[in-house]
Amino acid sequence: MAEFVYSAFADEAGKTLAEQLEALGADGMTLIEPRNLDLGNISDYTPDMAREVRKQLDEAGIGVSAVGSGYGKICITDDFAPHFEKFKQTVEVANVLGTDKIRMFSFYMPEGEDPAPYRDEVFERLDRFADYARAHGVWCCHENEKGIFGDVTSRCLDILTTFEGKIKGVFDPANFIQCGVKPLEAYEVLAPYIEYMHVKDARFATGGVVPPGRGDGEVKEILRRFAEKEGTRILTLEPHLKVFDGLSALENVSGSVFSVTEDYVYPTNRAAFDAAAGALFGLLGELGIAR
């Protein structure tokens, strides 16, 4: 059986790192997947800036599960060179923060175009990411996301089998729902390659995000199956229940931003975060998985 450890995109609870650390502690989480912090997105942080973050994390007893970067969230036709140079800095940031994982993506496709002709270019770029990261002790962890090359099961599998031993998988049920993919079916195909899971749920009818277990993501069953794996396994909470400052910058500008369903709107970011955490731990309790 897996031993679950709990992380979160805590920028959904508060803008500052201090607010984020307070939320993590209150909800019993020991890890963070840093994304937006006091001075901007983690991908803009220098190693010196990361050292100050590491000091605060260490004082709070919080570790880093992965760097929640947005690498690979440019169009495949965009210039890769500056993107790759910035990635190199973030690999160093990962080392400073004490994590061996960077969450990344496989490039947005031109709207309305078949992804197949872009496969070679996507894979060449992913290879450069992966080779550089592995040379510095870091794993690239690919997340499924609407509109990128690896948005559906078959293309995720193509990436994870081609780059087995170089790139690991991040599984996000809600993102599959956004693509019209049944998450449990995708999980069964991709399970051997999944390094960790983003806990997020949504509904097929609207694409709207709901607390874990309240949507069509079959999150409880996926958690049950994920728990059957051996070793330590990370569950990273990503609520997306209430739009927060900067959310639009995290999603594809062409329109893949998750809608917020009217029956799950919260007065504050912290309330939304706590609701999602409560739903996650409620599901685990139903499965008999102790925190």
In-domain check, residue 291:
no
Q: Which of 146, 135, 106 is nearest to 257 (CA)?
A: 146
Rounded Cα–Cα distance for residues 289 and 280 (Å): 11
In one letter, which amino acid is 182? Answer: K
Average pLDDT over residues 200-227: 97
Q: Which of 168, 145, 171 is nearest to 226 (CA)?
A: 171
In-domain check, residue 261:
yes
Rounded Cα–Cα distance for residues 152 and 209 (Å): 18
- Predicted pLDDT at 261: 47
Domain carrying residue 238: 2-286
Angle between helices 269-286 and 219-226 (to 10 degrees): 60
Q: Which of 207, 147, 141 is nearest to 171 (CA)?
A: 141
Sign of the alpha-carbon torsion through 135, 38, 277, 69: negative
| Tens digits of residue pLDDT in 53-83 | 999 999 999 999 999 999 999 999 999 999 9
- Predicted pLDDT at 254: 37
| Tens digits of residue pLDDT in 220-273 | 999 999 999 999 999 999 999 954 444 445 544 333 334 444 578 888 899 999
Angle at CA 203, nearest 5°, toward 198 and 205?
Answer: 150
| Tens digits of residue pLDDT in 89-146 | 999 999 999 999 999 999 999 999 999 999 999 999 999 999 999 999 999 999 999 9
What percent of the chain is modeled with pLDDT above 70? 93
Number of folded domains that form the chain: 1
Would the pLDDT of 285 be above 70?
Answer: yes
Place of tokens 């894979």: 123
Would the pLDDT of 180 be above 70?
Answer: yes
Query: How many other C-beta atoms are found inside a 10 Å radius of the C-beta of residue 277?
Result: 24
Pull the structure tokens for residue 94: 């990962």
In-domain check, residue 282:
yes
In one letter, which amino acid is 277? Answer: A
Rounded Cα–Cα distance for residues 118 and 112 (Å): 13
- Predicted pLDDT at 98: 98
Rounded Cα–Cα distance for residues 220 and 159 (Å): 26
Average pLDDT taken over every residue of the chain: 93
- Predicted pLDDT at 247: 46
Angle at CA 276, nearest 5°, toward 186 and 28?
Answer: 110
- Predicted pLDDT at 262: 57
pTM: predicted TM-score of the whole model, two decimal places = 0.92
In residues, how long is the chain?
291
Q: CA 153, 121, 136, 194: dihedral to nearest 10 degrees?
A: 0
- Predicted pLDDT at 266: 86
What is the CATH classification number for the domain harbouring 51?
A: 3.20.20.150
